[in-house]
Amino acid sequence: MLLENFRPKSRLVTKTTLVNKPKFSVIDAHNHLGDPFGGGWDKKPLTELLDLLDEAGVIHYVDLDGGWGEDILHAHLKYFKEQAPERFRIFGGVDWSKWESLGDGFPDWAAGRLKVQKEAGAQGLKIWKPLGLHVKDHTGQLVKVDDARLSPIWETADELGLPVLIHVADPVAFFDPIDETNERWEELGQHPDWAFTSPPFPPFTEIMNGLKSLVRRHPSTIFIGAHAGCYGENLGWVGQMLDECPNYSIDISARLGELGRQPYSARKFFIQYQDRILFGSDLSPDLAAYRLYYRFLETDDEYFNYNTSEVPGQGRWHVCGLYLPDDVLKKVYSENAKRILRME
């Protein structure tokens, strides 16, 4: 038998709690709606999507697809925001490909595009991990996350009241050698382009320290660190950054597997930083996936699959629930998002 066909079944006898609806209304602060990550909902009836969100208890949905390009931003503003403004907000982005042709004028141009996006209806800025890994300036040099030349972008986001949801680096294992010790070996085998071994890529810690430098340099700009602050494997580091940077918050999207395999630390972390954590799923509108998150956050269930697939996609381990107090749940589910995303 090949290892890839190994499907062990736990013989543990533990309780299973079905959480069909969350205890409190949810704002999904990190997700997508179009292809490839959002399930192609821009090609389906909107009523079908709204029915699904109602059944899941999701009252508001942040679509980050506008970060892929202004054509997608405008299309999603028209299809989702215009038809159901109380249910959606769409984030814009930065077109890094223009740096080569615009040269030194690129940062100011990108800042100007933010103003155009805001006027069109964008309500935030999504920055994805190519910054720090792939983005190069007009001279061919790799652009660091905290490159001072990008200051006009972050300053303009602040002036416009646009929160910046930023994803850099993570997961840590993507930066490790792809060998028998890599805990994401199977995932990287399926997606070899997700490997960022150094060299030639910068070390993981260098990118993360650049993120901290960026956020500290712009204290009035609101930053949200995607995926448990881009470092779900080290909540102590994330907590230290939250302590040092009052303008920084995090979402928990697509990191149930990381958080749930350290339930004691994660529960303490959620309670300590209960005002700085936003709910997010990053799994497209999916009822089964939402219910897994609710089970994780609300129950004390032990050792269950954090994924809807038979083999967990981010590592062969299971998770335990955090059974968070109601006052913490309310904040994580929606109250923090209302404040940080300036919805009130």
What is the per-residue pLDDT across 260-280, written as a single tens digit (0 to 9) for each? 999 999 999 999 999 999 999
In a domain, 3, yes or no: no
Count of domains observed in the chain: 1
Structure confidence at residue 7 as a pLDDT band (50, 70, 90): confident
Flag whether pLDDT at 312 surpasses 80: no
Beta bridge partners of 319: 304
Mean pLDDT of the 50-58 span = 98
In a domain, 6, yes or no: no
Closest of 53, 4, 2, 64 to residue 25, by C-alpha: 53
46-50, 170-174, 332-336, range with the lowest pLDDT: 170-174
In a domain, 77, yes or no: yes
State how beta strands 26-31 and 58-63 pair: parallel
90-99, 164-173, 308-317, range with the lowest pLDDT: 308-317
Mean pLDDT of the 282-296 span = 96
In a domain, 13, yes or no: no
In a domain, 9, yes or no: no
Structure confidence at residue 1 as a pLDDT band (50, 70, 90): confident
SS3 243: helix
In a domain, 141, yes or no: yes
Residues of the domain holding 275: 22-340
Q: What is the per-residue pLDDT for 82? A: 98
Sheet harboring 88-90: ordered strands across?
A: 26-31, 58-63, 88-90
Q: What is the per-residue pLDDT for 339? A: 98
State how beta strands 248-251 and 88-90 pair: unpaired
Q: What is the per-residue pLDDT for 25? A: 98
Q: What is the per-residue pLDDT for 36? A: 83
Q: What is the per-residue pLDDT for 309? A: 80
Give the distance from CA 95 to its chain's centroid.
19
* Residues 211/166, Cβ–Cβ less than 8 Å: yes
Residue tagged 């300053």 (tokens): 155
In a domain, 2, yes or no: no
* CATH at residue 176: 3.20.20.140
Q: What is the per-residue pLDDT for 234? A: 98
Q: How many residues does the chain have?
A: 344
In a domain, 320, yes or no: yes
Q: What is the per-residue pLDDT for 287? A: 96
Q: Locate all alpha helices (DSSP H) within the chain, ordered by sequence.
A: 46-56, 70-76, 99-102, 106-120, 151-160, 185-190, 204-217, 226-229, 235-244, 256-260, 263-272, 287-298, 326-330, 336-340
Q: In sequence order, which residues have a C-beta less than 8 Å from that of residue 91 and are 6 or more positions away? A: 62, 63, 64, 66, 67, 122, 123, 124, 125, 126, 165
